[in-house]
Amino acid sequence: MNRLSIESSLKKFTAKFAESAAMTREAREVIPGGYSRNSFNFGPHAVFVEQGDGAHIETVDGHRLLDLNNNFTVNVLGHGHPAITRALIDTIPSGISFGNPGPPEADLARILIERIPSVEKVQFSCSATESCMSAIRIARAYTGKTKIAKLEGGYHGFSDILQISSHTQPDQDGGTDTDPKAVADSGGIPTATLDDVVVLGQNDRDGAERILRTHAGDLACLILELQSGSGGLVTLEQEFVEQLRSLTKELDIVLVFDETISLRAGYHGLQGVYGVVPDLTVMGKIIGGGMPLGAVGGSADVMDVLETGKVSISGTHHGHKLALAAGTACMRTLDHAAFEKLNSQSARVISELNEWSEARKSPLLLYGQGFSHMAYSYMKAPDLKVRNHRDYWHNVDSEKTQILSLELAIRGFFPVHRGELSLSLPMADDDISSFIETLKEIVEDLES
């Protein structure tokens, strides 16, 4: 086989998914970009899907792919899981949507409270984006302060106050490594909004303490992902997280863990793995079982600003009965054995591929905290790592990583285009073996 290049891989991808390309062109007549979620661009366009079954998706182009994207980690039970399907079928006949509350809301709340160490009370929304916004408002009301702090590379949805410094690029004025500056990730975000956001570097202990102490009098909260996703996968170091917990307690800053993705790390979420308890936790993705659902939960003391009416948050579809039904079914299925299987398969992917890569002195790197959301990158040299957002600028060969993603799709696997993957419960050991061997073959072709 000829050595792979971005040109050759794009040509094969375009040919294999030609029907998806045509649908994109047609849909652009009525939808900007061709679809409402441009984060699903995969090279030149998205891959359109007709249906899913278990661990696989069927594309409009007639291809069956092992789904390693799983709607950006949502579908932890895969597609068409009988527990979720039955919950929805049983719920629909009694009505689709009510403004009135019903018993399922408290049922799911109790499940989350029982599992997540920081959560004593919960409020639901339609998405984690909304619940991140809720967490900010709750923290501001609780502390009486206005500014927020976040980590560069951390993504918390598309609200004005939070879509900042999630995808900072080297050609932007993002400050120095030790003094990052707030940078808007989109047009339409008022410049004045940047004044209310303080940015810290991931895993920069000295910088974090200096910046938090400097701005403590104005900071309502610090919001972070223990393992980031959309901005590039970075796992926070244990000592860094413990330091942030200690500092925020001392400085009267509400600590918010955004566990939208990382709740799938284990029965008690990723905070259970770290053994660090925040004041508020944002939840999403898996808690809706594939339906739109977000939640913010935390200590009764902090959440009391909702109980007293000091903070008002209400939406038409918040606590929607179908989302609650699907979410409850999903969470009940995710018992200790389910997490053990997912995490065991994840450990296998990381260890086998990294051992193989090290043996051949290849720059391929698999990384993550060790649960069923992980990343792969083709580094600029062996032994380079990703410890913070800016390491993606300096250490990752983005073009060759994109080749890996395109070739995976061409060869029957659908990862996250930026170099991430998440597993689902229906995946068999043979699926994992097939992925491992295919990625090895792609790297060999790339390096031939």
What is the domain-level CATH number for residue 137?
A: 3.40.640.10
Number of C-beta neighbours around residue 44 at 10 A = 13
Same domain for 95 and 50: no
Kindly state the average pLDDT of the residues 392-414. Answer: 97
In a domain, 386, yes or no: yes
* 327, 245: one domain: yes
Residues 278 and 412 both lie in one domain: no
242 phi, psi to nearest 5 deg: -60, -40
Task: Confirm whether 142 is domain-assigned.
Answer: yes
> 186 lies in a domain?
yes
**Of 301, 333, 365, at which residue does a domain stop?**
333
Q: Report how far residue 328's alpha carbon sits from residue 20's, in angstroms, rounded to the nearest whole number.
A: 34
Where are the alpha helices (H) located in 229-378, listed in sequence order?
238-250, 269-274, 300-307, 321-333, 336-359
406 and 420 belong to one structural domain: yes
User: What does pLDDT average to over the chain?
Assistant: 97
Please check whether residue 173 lies inside any domain of the structure.
yes
What is the model's pTM?
0.97
DSSP run (H or E) holding 200: strand 197-200
Pair (343, 416) in one structural domain: yes
Last residue of a domain, one of 333, 358, 393: 333
Residue 37 in this model has a pLDDT that exceeds 90: no
Tell me how many domains the chain contains. Answer: 2
CA–CA dist 18, 34 (Å, integer): 15
Shared domain for 93 and 212, answered yes or no, is yes
Both 323 and 360 in one domain: the answer is: no
**280 and 343 part of one domain:** no
204 and 170 Cβ atoms separated by less than 8 Å: no
Whether residue 260 contacts residue 190, with contact meaning beta carbons closer than 8 Å, is answered with: no
Specify whether 61 is located in the same domain as 30.
Answer: yes
Query: DSSP string covering 96-112, please?
Result: S--SS--HHHHHHHHHH
What gap in Å lies between CA 412 and CA 340, rounded to an integer? 26
- Does the pLDDT value for residue 78 go beyond 60? yes
In a domain, 230, yes or no: yes
**pLDDT tier for residue 174 given thresholds of 50, 70 and 90:** very high
Residue 43 — left, alpha, or beta (φ > 0 → left; ψ -120 to 50 → alpha)? Answer: left
Residues 259 and 152 in one domain: yes
Considering the domain architecture, whether residues 194 and 315 belong to the same structural domain is answered as yes
At residue 38, does pLDDT exceed 90? Answer: no
CA 314 distance to own-chain centroid: 24
DSSP state of 4: P
State how far the Cα of 228 lies from the Cα of 241, in Å rounded to an integer: 13
Sheet holding 373-378, edge to edge: 364-367, 373-378, 420-422
Q: Name 180's bridge partners.
A: 175
User: Are 150 and 199 contacting, i.e. CB atoms less than 8 angstroms apart?
Assistant: yes
Assigned domain for 1 exists: no
pLDDT in tens, 88-144: 999 999 999 998 999 999 999 999 999 999 999 999 999 999 999 999 999 999 999
Which band of pLDDT confidence, cut at 50, 70 and 90, is reported for residue 1? low
pLDDT (mean) for 343-370: 98
The answer to the question of residue 352 being in a domain is yes
Structural domain ending residue among the three candidates 284, 305, 333: 333
Q: Does 176 map to a domain?
A: yes
Range of the domain at 343: 6-76+336-447
pLDDT of residue 43: 80
pLDDT > 80? residue 205:
yes
Looking at the predicted structure, is the pLDDT value of residue 304 above 90? yes
Are 424 and 289 part of one and the same domain? no
Rg (Cα) of the chain, in Å, rounded? 22
Residue range 163-173, pLDDT digits in tens: 999 999 999 99
DSSP 2: P
Contact 204, 243 (CB under 8 A): no
CATH number where 368 lies? 3.90.1150.10
